[in-house]
Structure 1
Amino acid sequence: MVFRRWLRDCIGFMSARHRDLTVSDFSLPAIIIGLLIGCLLCFTNLYFGLQTGFISMMSLQSALIGYLVSRMLPTPLSPQEIILVQATATATGTMPLAAGFVGILPALGLINEERDGSPPIHLSWVAGIGWSCAVAFFGVFLSPPIRKQVIIEEELAFPSGTATAQLISVLHNLPPPETNLRRRKGYQSIEDEEDGEVARESGETTPRETTPLQGPEITPTASWHELLWSFVASGLLTLSAYFFPVIFAIPIFGNYLAREWAWSFTPSLSYVGQGIIMGFPTTLSMNMGMLVGWGILSPMAKFSGWAPGPVGDMTSGSRGWILWVSLAIMCADSLVSLLPVVWEFLVDTTLRLKRGSSAQLEGKDYGETETPDRLVPGRWIIIGWSVSVVVGIFLVWVVFGHEGIKPVATFAGYILGGLLSVLAVRALGETDINPVSGLGKISQLFFAWIQPGNIVANIIAGGVAEAGAQQAGDLMQDLKTGHLCGASPRALFYGQLIGSTVSIFVTTTAYSLYTRVYPIPGPSFPAPTAYVWLSFARLLRDGQLPENSSAFMIVFAAVFALIAAVKVYAVKKAVWWGVWIPSGVAFAIGFLNTPSFSIARLIGGILEYVFRTRYARSGGDIRLIVVASGFVLGEGVISVVSLILKTFGVGVASCWGCGQSGLCGGCPS
């Protein structure tokens, strides 16, 4: 109640004064609410990204929470302003991935001078700000120029953006948006398995009705109660686990397997919430990977002498050994998934040129649906992208020096990142998967040729490509939602820029606090994707692989290349069994994370499936999504409290029952 009163007093008086701005649908209350939600998501994504490599875009959840908050204002926000809220929130919340705080920067800290020819790089707060500014904006300028092509002319699905538009329509009791999805997409359940959000929504074409959409009963008071109790429950469990680490490291298969083989269980409500959001098919794929990686390959590597070190060691242990198999799976899956996108891009471009000529002869208009005052002017795009690249090259040179990466090479990285971002947008529109990791690997391959032997340059170049693809994809999802619900593209563009700017300081500050208190990578925050970046860079430099890992990499890459091809075919043909084909990326994440992370997510996935098939009142029943959002946000927010306690020297109350020699991250070794 105190928070609601404070929010009403601080924001409410502005709502009436900022309705009629120059930019339609742009309002200060929407921006403030979006930033508040985005900051919570930023801490949450940084926390879980460093733990598991998983980053959630949370666009659906941002729109939902924004709607609930806006209902407390004297004048609730319009549907278009709610879209601005979620656009600002997602731009703020995904910076940990876009700027590489969960992968790139920890990887630079793992560099070994004797092995890699360069000392480890640990950025200060100021240097972190500089690096973030270098990569935080150029991807934002890549989406508006291709918006007309992919959203209006080709009508790509962008299922998460479409799902958010449909949710907003339900919340505001509006006619459903005219999605006009091409029938060949046939999405019944679509997962985003890439370091980020997984959303599901029907892809059936929905005719526009003349009567309001009658969705399930959604009362703000009931939704607030569900969000609040789930938030409190998750937060209390997280705080309890800080003082008694065994709560999040239960040796369900015995202390020996927990201590020696990392088989424990983390009953985190946040992981359960993530599983609900990801859905049952994705969590099932992840746990299949967990069983194969940790139940078969890990013991095989250990007992065969291929990985003689401790199981959890990323250098000499079986966890580091199965990492290479995981990398092969991700690369194969990403490559096969991208090939049809590249082919369709070439075909569609050719057809568009022919169609454009025919349309001119026949007098047909395939023009823009928005008025110029609601669009992002072309000169803004040219100037903004040019300035962001020039400033970015300078900042990268200042932060990493000439020996880190040459300015010419950085410029090539921005150009390559821009080209790969187009593929990322198309892949996202086709499949709801933004293959940022796969595109980063392509950039690393390219830079292994430009600056051979330079580990630092290789990782940085991959980070630039990843940042561009992430930001371009995020904004295009928002633009799809805005197109369906009539929101101003220019307002969403502003929201993305504002959210990214604020998140630079929020993310860098949070990461600096974490690195002062915890070793990263370390027991509490293993940062698994950091090892992926560094291992791939080392492989490109010297080609050395752990003993007998190459054969397994080839076999698993071939198998999952075939599986990915079948999955692409199944999705395009809209067959019902397509969603049950294992996802290569999710399968590989099961290798990267210890079993404790995957089991809890499977519980969430099962809950989602049971609720959706047996208890959901209708296709738009969002009760479970509200609860899942509270679970995720609760642990993410209370993690800040844990960080403060750790900073002031408040340690665990008891390590009783842990018995894992520090693997839980709370007990001393």
Structure 2
Amino acid sequence: MSEAVAKQSAEANETENVKNPARGWIIAFLFVVSFIGLFSVVPLRKIMVVDFKLIYPSGTATAHLINSFHTPQGAKLAKKQVRELGKFFSFSFLWGFFQCFFTAGDSCGFKDFPTFGLKAHENRFFFDFSATYVGVGMICPYLTTISLLVGAMLSWGIMWPLIDARKGSWYFAELKQSSLHGLKGYRIFIAIAMILGDGLYNFFKALGCTLFVLYRQLLSRDFGTDVLPSSARSSPVITPSLSYDDQRRIRLFLKDQIPTWFAITGYVTIAIISTATLPHIFPQLKWYYAVVIYIIAPPLAFCNAYGAGLTGWSLASPYGKLAIFTTGAWAGASHGGVLAGLAACGVMMNIVSTASDLMQDFKTGYLTLASPRSMFVSQIIGTAMGCIISPCVFWLFYKAYSDLGVPGSEYAAPYALIYRNIAILGVEGFSALPKHCLTLCYAFFVGAIVINGVRDAVGRKWASFIPVPMAMAIPFYLGSYFAIDMCVGSLILFVWQKVNKAKADAFGPAVACGLICGDGIWTLPSSFLALAGEDKYYIFARGTYKVGRKGCDVIITKDKGVSRIHAEIVVDAMTDLHPPKLRIRDCSKYGTFISRNLEQKENVHEFLNKEATLEDGDVVSFGTGNAIYRFHFIPLVFFICSESFRVNQPLQDKISSIGARITHSLTQESTHVLVNQLSQMSEDMVDAILLRKPIVLDSWVEIVAEKGIRAEIPSCSLYAPTLTVGGVSVKVAAPESRDNLVVSSSCSTEETVVADSDVEVETATSIHANATTCADEAIISLSKAEASTATACTEEDIKFVRKTVTPMDHAAVKSEDSCVMSYRDSTHGKTVGRDKVDDSECGNADIIYSQDLVAQDMDIPSNVNATANNGVLNFKRFRKAIAGNTLSGNSFNNLIPFSKYPYRDSDNGSEEMVESVRAEKKRKQMEAIAEDLFNNQKGKRRGVAGSIHGLLSHV
């Protein structure tokens, strides 16, 4: 559902059908859908494990392995297996480390070596030296690996070359390789047809077998001599035919009961929470879609758990595809049906897969004499951990690899595109398919069903020589490289078994696990290495900029394949409305490559005159591929708020030269406020300050325009102006330090509580006000693509928050009137504890006040004591003047300023006094908040001053 996958097809890639990954909503989604499957089959555990005596092959194998560890022979064997696992784990990890020295890009190194020649490599026939796939091949059955190889030979060896030869007849020859109307459409949809045919056949087969066996067992049961009672609360009746071990297992399995009412209540409660939450995560997934899913999910979860007990194969994927089709078609294309179908698929698969996994664990616990209640609690704990750990690991890969989900990349995520296109089929039908593609899909769909039927008809002996359609379909899209790796692993195991079958059976799984785990663990440090990027570059002027080694404008040091002068970036003109016209010219030996909209790379060397036009968002790689940069256009809009400030022609020329423009109205597009030394405080200036816009002198523009390209932007704080407020000179502070004081006014009382302590400051800042404005902006940003956080000023990072503040959660500030543009930044203002402030800083400083602005002035002395006449601390509050001419309401013009820091916690004496002070502060603050919440909106707007602490600082 991400934009990276959506852009690979021209259909249904609108905004309502796209949702980019984010850790927050992924964790929330997993928490609301992952636990409900655990409660769906808990009441049926006795029937499934004890009554029906289902095998659950994976759970049974795990139990036998655990039991073998607790025998003398098993303990010795386990030590040897662990030793072998450690050896091959180390080998696999070091092999991954070794490969990185010979990998200079995406298509370089051992992983892309043309083992069988260049022509075979073009059709993805090569051995990529992956320890992971070799280990998987040692674990998978021989039939599975052979099926993968047969599918690769059928598709990439025969079908795709034949269809490609009909380019121009079956589909337009001018289409890009990423277009689903071309060859890629055949690859994806034929693979989907085979997967659906195989999945539906096994679905109805498992469903039919389940219902038939269930019917026969219910008919043949003798309730008078049943092994177990029908009531879970009564004592089990153990028949003499059972062995002593089975009798112990049954007693213990029924000892720690999980009440049926608990399971039903848990399912209904979580379903209600999930139904209310899911529409907030996916607005396209309406609440009634979720209700229908949760109604039909328990029978499907039972069918999947029963089928897994018979065959060991979970059919969660076919159930998910069923949810995609039904929900997507129900929602429709115009209402985000693609995204709704994918979200429904995630909900359904979580329920049915979790149910079968839990039943597998119950079987393991039954055979190992483990408490089923402990198994259930452990499953809940593990699920909760997975809801946090899995998104975090995914996020590491998502940030480390900019081409995640792109075909041909290291992590292509092929099933992401397959599932999305299944959703497109369910929503839009078959009109998007290329010529003859639908006919071929029908043929392979029927072929998958026929092959499965033949496999079941000929029996187990001959079925081992007939390939599995599901496995055959996977290489249709991916290629054959991983199938070759897996066949190598199977060949190693086959030869090992011929030489020494006992050792192969004992140590084969350990060796395979070592190869898989070592290579998998290596991806973590490699991801951190991929996150390390080079500096950003900002281009401010037209001209030609050289890319290469030392002495060039853009210096690249991390790619040995970069030439001395590798390429040239040509900026023909700077403009303030659209991205400037950029060209890149290749001057190198190893080439310069461009990737647009997540498409495959294009070699600039092959373009006319060896140059190509750059657009906003293009990814450019230099040399062998280690130096990857992304181009961004960042607009500069200067707001002129002072009538006395006239922009002369030289300044206008400099502004135009860096591609910026001037506006006389404060809007969302304004990025900076431009002033001179004569500018006065005005209403627009206050609005800009509260909107946290950087305010800079005109000399800042001159400094920026001095160089055409920079590695960093001159700091705005060094060019902040000095303004006059109430006859006092003050200097504008940095935007990130303007939200440390909240003046929360109550419109129905005589007091205004000023929150300024450490605790108050933390609670007084709203979520929106915490975002910091990016002062370092430029026209063109050239940043390392792997370091995705470096592109902090892109469009998706722009968030709009409002200006005027109202009390919210401990006097939090919120906005009402206008908008502010803020960019993600890692810098926030720091709050210093009052006890740590020097005496000079915390001396009694009064507050300058006005109707529009409250500012600090540290020069005016104050003789106001920290306590009132009655000896009660004033807790940093204003008090209204009581006079006959006092205006009604809560105007700041009528407030008498008290001291800013009337006390410090350390001055209060005993701990009891300190606690009483804090309690009184809390009470006063909460009173103001409560009264503000119940006042009318007009009173709120009149009574709120804003976030002012640190807004201005004395010169």
TM-score normalised by the chain length of structure 1: 0.71
RMSD of equivalent CA atoms: 3.2
CA distance in 2, matches of 1:660, 1:286: 35
Q: In structure 1, how many angstroms separate the alpha carbons of the residues matched to 2:415 and 2:116?
A: 27
CA contact (8 A) 1:108 1:456 kept: no
Q: Deviations over 1:66-124 (max 9, x none)?
A: xxxxxxxxxxxxxxxxxxxxxxxxxxxxxxxxxxxxx8997678686865562521132
Find the aligned partners of 1:263 and 1:355 in 2 and give their Cα distance.
55
Contact 1:141–1:384 under 8 Å retained in 2: yes
Contact 2:326 2:426 in 1 (8 A): no
Instruction: Kindly state the Cα deviation for residue 355 of structure 1 after the two structures are TM-superposed.
Output: 4.0
More helix by share: 1
Which ranges in structure 1 are unaligned for 5 or more consecutive residues?
A: 1-102, 175-213
- Structure 2 Cα separation of the partners of residues 110 and 366 of structure 1: 57
The answer as to whether partners of 1:323 and 1:591 remain within 8 angstroms in 2 is yes
User: Relative to 1, partners in 2 of residues 1:118 and 1:301: Cα closer, same or farther, differing over 3 Å?
Assistant: farther
Displacement of 1:660 in angstroms is 13
Instruction: Give the Cα–Cα distance (whole angstroms) in 2 for the partners of residues 158 and 524 of structure 1.
Output: 35
For 2:315, the equivalent position in structure 1 comes to: 435
What is the aligned partner in structure 1 of residue 476 from structure 2?
591
Aligned partner (choices 273, 292, 295) of residue 412 of structure 1 = 292
Distance 1:422 1:451, change over 3 A: same
Which deviates the most, 457-466 or 541-550?
541-550
Counterpart of 1:234 (choices 74, 92, 95) is 92
CA distance in 2, matches of 1:314, 1:166: 50
1:396 alignment counterpart = 278
* Counterpart selection for 2:423 from 520, 526, 537: 537
**Bigger shift: residues 594-603 or 384-393:** 384-393
In 1: Cα distance, 2:560 partner to 2:303 partner: 51
1:636 aligns with 2:520: yes
What is the letter of the counterpart of residue 466 of structure 1? Answer: M
Work out whether 1:490 is the aligned partner of 2:373. yes
Please state if 1:286 is matched with 2:127. no
Summarize the Cα distance change of 1:217–1:612 in structure 2 as closer, same or farther, 3 Å threshold.
farther
Q: Are 1:156 and 2:54 an aligned pair?
A: yes
Question: Aligned with 1:118: secondary structure?
Answer: helix
Q: Which of the numbers 438, 454, 462 marks the counterpart of 1:566?
A: 454
Shift of the 119–104 alpha-carbon distance from structure 1 to 2, 3 Å rule, reads: closer
Does the alignment pair 1:627 with 2:491?
no
Instruction: Report if aligned partners of 1:455, 1:541 keep a CA contact under 8 Å in 2.
Output: yes
Structure 2 partner of 1:376: 258
The residue identity in structure 1 corresponding to 2:77 is I
Q: Is the 8 A contact 1:153 1:366 kept in 2?
A: no
Give the Cα–Cα distance (whole angstroms) in 2 for the partners of residues 114 and 577 of structure 1.
Answer: 44
| Worse-matched range after superposition: 140-149 or 652-661 | 652-661
Which sections of structure 2, spanning at least 5 residues, go unmatched?
A: 104-108, 231-235, 237-249, 535-556, 563-588, 602-620, 629-955
Question: Which range is displaced more, 595-604 or 450-459?
Answer: 450-459
The Cα of 1:373 is off from its aligned counterpart by: 4.3
TM-aligned CA distance change 1:150 to 1:363, over 3 Å:
closer
Query: Which of 108, 130, 141 is the equivalent residue of 2:28?
Result: 130
* Partners of 1:284 and 1:142 in 2: CA distance: 37
User: Aligned pair in 2 of structure 1 residues 597, 355: CA closer, same or farther (>3 Å)?
Assistant: same
Identity percentage of aligned residues: 24
Alpha-carbon displacement from aligned partner over 1:289-331 (angstroms, at most 9, x marks no partner): 1111111121122111246578963635534422211111111
Secondary structure of the equivalent of 1:262? coil
Q: Return the letter of the residue paired with 2:417.
A: Y
AA of the residue aligned to 1:627: V
Q: Which amino acid aligns with 1:281?
A: L
- Other-structure match for 2:118: 255
Q: Report the CA distance shift for 1:480/1:363 in structure 2 as closer, same or farther (over 3 A).
A: closer
Deviation at 1:483?
1.8
Structure whose residues are more often strand by fraction: 2
Q: Distance in 1 between matches of 2:51 and 2:85?
A: 39
Q: Is the 8 A contact 1:280 1:608 kept in 2?
A: no
Q: State the TM-score, normalized to the length of structure 2.
A: 0.51
Is 1:467 aligned to 2:467, yes or no?
no
Larger radius of gyration: 2
Give the aligned partner of residue 276 of structure 1: 138
Deviation at 1:626, TM superposition (A): 0.8
- Structure-2 change in CA distance of 1:588 and 1:375 (3 Å): farther
CA distance in 2, matches of 1:578, 1:560: 14
Cα distance in 2 for partners of 1:496, 1:122 equals 29
- Letter in structure 2 aligned against 1:165: A
Are 1:479 and 2:347 counterparts? no
1:218 paired residue number:
77
Q: Helix, strand or coil for the counterpart of 1:514?
A: helix
Q: Once the two structures are superposed, what CA deviation does each residue of 1:256-292 show, in whole Å capped at 9, x if it has no partner?
A: 543x433332111111001111122111111111111
Letter in 1 for 2:188: L
Deviations 1:544-578 (A, max 9, x none): 223211122111222221111233345xx5x3233
- Alignment match, 2:219: 354
Deviation at 1:397, TM superposition (A): 1.6
Measured at CA, do residues 526 and 310 of structure 1 come closer, stay the same or move farther in structure 2, by a change above 3 Å?
Answer: farther
CA displacement, residues 344-400 of structure 1 (integer Å, 9 cap, x when unaligned): 2222333344345x424x676456624554232222211221222222223312212
My pick for the range that moved more, 269-278 or 446-455, is: 446-455
Provide the secondary structure at the position in 1 that maps to 2:625.
Answer: coil
Letter in 1 for 2:509: I
Query: 1:240, CA displacement in angstroms?
Result: 2.9
| Partner-residue secondary structure (3-state), 1:218 | helix
Q: Which residue does 2:187 correspond to in 1?
A: 322
- Tell me if the contact between 1:273 and 1:628 (Cα under 8 Å) persists in the aligned partners: yes
For 2:7 and 2:21, locate their aligned partners in 1 and report how far apart those are by CA, in whole Å: 9
Mapped contact 1:289–1:588 kept (Cα < 8 A): yes
1:226 is displaced (CA, Å) by: 1.4
Contact 2:136 / 2:516 at 8 angstroms: preserved in 1?
yes
Change (3 A) 1:399 1:135: same
Does structure 2 retain, via aligned residues, the 8 Å contact 1:234–1:630? yes
Where does residue 82 of structure 1 map in the other structure? Answer: none
1:555 and 2:443 are equivalent in the alignment: yes
Equivalent residue letter for 2:89: F
Residues 652 and 504 (structure 1), Cα distance of their counterparts in 2 relative to 1, 3 Å cut: farther
> 1:93 corresponds to which residue?
none
**AA of the residue aligned to 1:338:** F
Letter in 2 for 1:622: A
For the Cα contact (< 8 Å) 1:248–1:265, is it kept in 2? Answer: yes
Does the residue aligned with 1:388 lie in a helix, a strand or coil? helix
Question: Which residue type is aligned with residue 393 of structure 1?
Answer: T
CA distance in 1, matches of 2:174, 2:357: 41
**CA 1:318/1:235 → structure 2, altered by over 3 Å: closer, same or farther?**
farther
- Counterparts of 2:155 and 2:69, CA distance in 1: 42
Measured after TM superposition, the shift of residue 659 of structure 1 is 10
Read off the aligned partner of 1:391 and give its amino acid letter: I
Distance in 1 (CA, whole Å) between partners of 2:88 and 2:395 is 29
Partner of 1:486: helix, strand, or coil?
A: coil
Task: Tell me by how many angstroms 1:466 deviates.
Answer: 1.3
Deviation at 1:218?
A: 0.7
Cα 1:421–1:652 change in 2 (3 A) is: farther
Which has the larger displacement, 629-638 or 603-612? 603-612
User: Are the counterparts in 2 of residues 249 and 266 from structure 1 also a CA contact under 8 Å?
Assistant: yes
In 2, Cα distance between equivalents of 1:486 and 1:349: 27
Shift in Å at residue 452 of structure 1? 2.8
1:655 Cα deviation (Å)?
A: 7.0
**Residues in 2 aligned to 1:134 and 1:642: alpha-carbon distance in whole angstroms:** 32
What is the aligned residue count? 518
Q: Distance in 1 between matches of 2:302 and 2:174?
A: 43
Which residue is equivalent to 2:802? Answer: none
Change (3 A) 1:566 1:618: farther
Decide whether aligned partners of structure 1 residues 512 and 423 sit closer, same or farther in structure 2, where only a CA change above 3 A counts.
same
Match of 1:171 among 62, 69, 73: 69
> Residue 243 of structure 1 contacts residue 652 of structure 1 at CA under 8 Å; is this kept in 2?
no
CA distance in 2, matches of 1:634, 1:557: 38
